[in-house]
Copies of this chain bind each other. A is one copy, B any other.
């Protein structure tokens, strides 16, 4: 290094951009942002059994095994859209008007209720960004608070921590098909005046529950009484098993301000395309500021990929009914294989899901000798190369989550290995 340069290096080390250690420092936001799943997997710190092929029942991506695919008309539509040459430029920052109108039509409550318009919809880069925008607009960090489901999708908590938004959890009840413990919820609403909104996830990851109309009505009654906003994560909308109806919270209340978030990811088997949305259900005209605010934050990063956006109407309006039927029938069968197998294993109890692509399984500590769900997950991976996520990832100890989308044969093999594993570890 030349003497001139080394002089600079010295100045450099005293510079505002560097920490004591000589590193460029990072913001508190980054330090607060945690990925609980990755942390837990790191903590498990074990390798799969090299003698057995890995069966990943951990990944919430239905496309990885090639057995769930998008509707077959998608590519022709993509070709048509590409060839117009009109979808390479910037869309409106909230999304193409025609696409937002289509979503508004699709998710409007039955008339004569007031119908949604394009202005009530903001397109986002996946449902994750839809949640991000809702949190950014609605909550003042350090002041407002939000109630999150337990067990629940870990991103909710990660986002709150990252943004410095206060949160606490309300309980879901495994013995009541994972319904919300409304008494617990109401106690918290009464004792925590800073709670501004309650978040629900219906159908649910990780539980596979689908709330009944009556349960949602009870929840909405309570929220109305307590004057709270509802954020309804409906990324698994319409993914109840055959015979199980999905009700959007927004179709059941005219008085609760509701932000519902959703997207194409799961229903159309294209999570990588990153198309999501926020819908503002504002029947009482109390959310003008929120609606504008969502539009404002969307001007910073702009919306999802224009080509993917442009496919929304084809997907929502031209997908044949039997595509959805087929997916639901198969998801139910996958869940049945998993639950049927698990139920035969002493010490494990599967809570039967009613939709989506997950099953939560309870580990009975009076039958199986594991310290906790983390030890269960670690040893299952180490001994049987079966990868499940411990309930701790979802703030719910004593359970683990199985993703049901792998092919049936793989699920059967996994269940057999879990059975052998448990029989070796009985008390």
Binding site for B on A (CB under 8 A): 5, 8-9, 11-18, 22-30, 33, 35, 38, 61-64, 66, 69-70, 75, 78-79, 82-83, 85, 87-91, 125-126, 128-129, 132, 136-141, 144, 155, 158-159, 162, 193-197, 224-229, 255, 257, 269-274, 286-290, 293, 296-297, 299-308
- The answer on a CB contact under 8 Å between B125 and A301 is yes
* Chain B residue contacts of A13, Cβ below 8 A: 227
* Chain B residue contacts of A70, Cβ below 8 A: 88
Q: Report if A226-B88 is in contact (Cβ < 8 Å); known contacts: A23-B287, A274-B302, A305-B305.
A: no
Nearest CB in chain B: distance from A125 CB, A = 5
* Chain B residue contacts of A11, Cβ below 8 A: 225-227
Nearest CB in chain B: distance from A224 CB, A = 5
* Chain B residue contacts of A288, Cβ below 8 A: 23
* Chain B residue contacts of A196, Cβ below 8 A: 16-17
- The answer on a CB contact under 8 Å between A137 and B26 is yes
- The answer on a CB contact under 8 Å between B227 and A23 is no
Please, which residue of chain B has its CB at the minimum distance from the CB of A230?
B17
Q: Report if A90-B272 is in contact (Cβ < 8 Å); known contacts: A132-B301, A300-B33.
A: yes
Choose one: B16, B224, B287; the contact of A24 (CB below 8 Å): B287
Q: Report if A159-B300 is in contact (Cβ < 8 Å); known contacts: A225-B8, A255-B12.
A: yes
Choose one: B15, B23, B289, B305; the contact of A228 (CB below 8 Å): B15
* Chain B residue contacts of A226, Cβ below 8 A: 11, 15
* Chain B residue contacts of A159, Cβ below 8 A: 300
* Chain B residue contacts of A126, Cβ below 8 A: 301-302
- The answer on a CB contact under 8 Å between A26 and B293 is yes
Choose one: B8, B12, B18, B61; the contact of A90 (CB below 8 Å): B61
The docked-state distance in angstroms from the alpha carbon of A13 to that of B226 is 9
Q: Report if A63-B88 is in contact (Cβ < 8 Å); known contacts: A129-B301, A306-B274.
A: yes
Please, which residue of chain B has its CB at the minimum distance from the CB of A91?
B272
Nearest CB in chain B: distance from A184 CB, A = 18
- The answer on a CB contact under 8 Å between B82 and A63 is no
- The answer on a CB contact under 8 Å between A300 and B155 is yes
- The answer on a CB contact under 8 Å between A297 and B227 is no
Please, which residue of chain B has its CB at the minimum distance from the CB of A254?
B5
User: Can you list 25 A-B pairs, Cβ within 8 angstroms, ordered by A?
Assistant: A11-B226, A11-B227, A12-B224, A12-B227, A15-B228, A16-B144, A16-B196, A24-B287, A25-B140, A26-B138, A26-B289, A26-B293, A30-B289, A33-B299, A35-B299, A61-B89, A69-B85, A88-B269, A88-B270, A125-B274, A128-B301, A159-B300, A274-B306, A304-B305, A305-B307
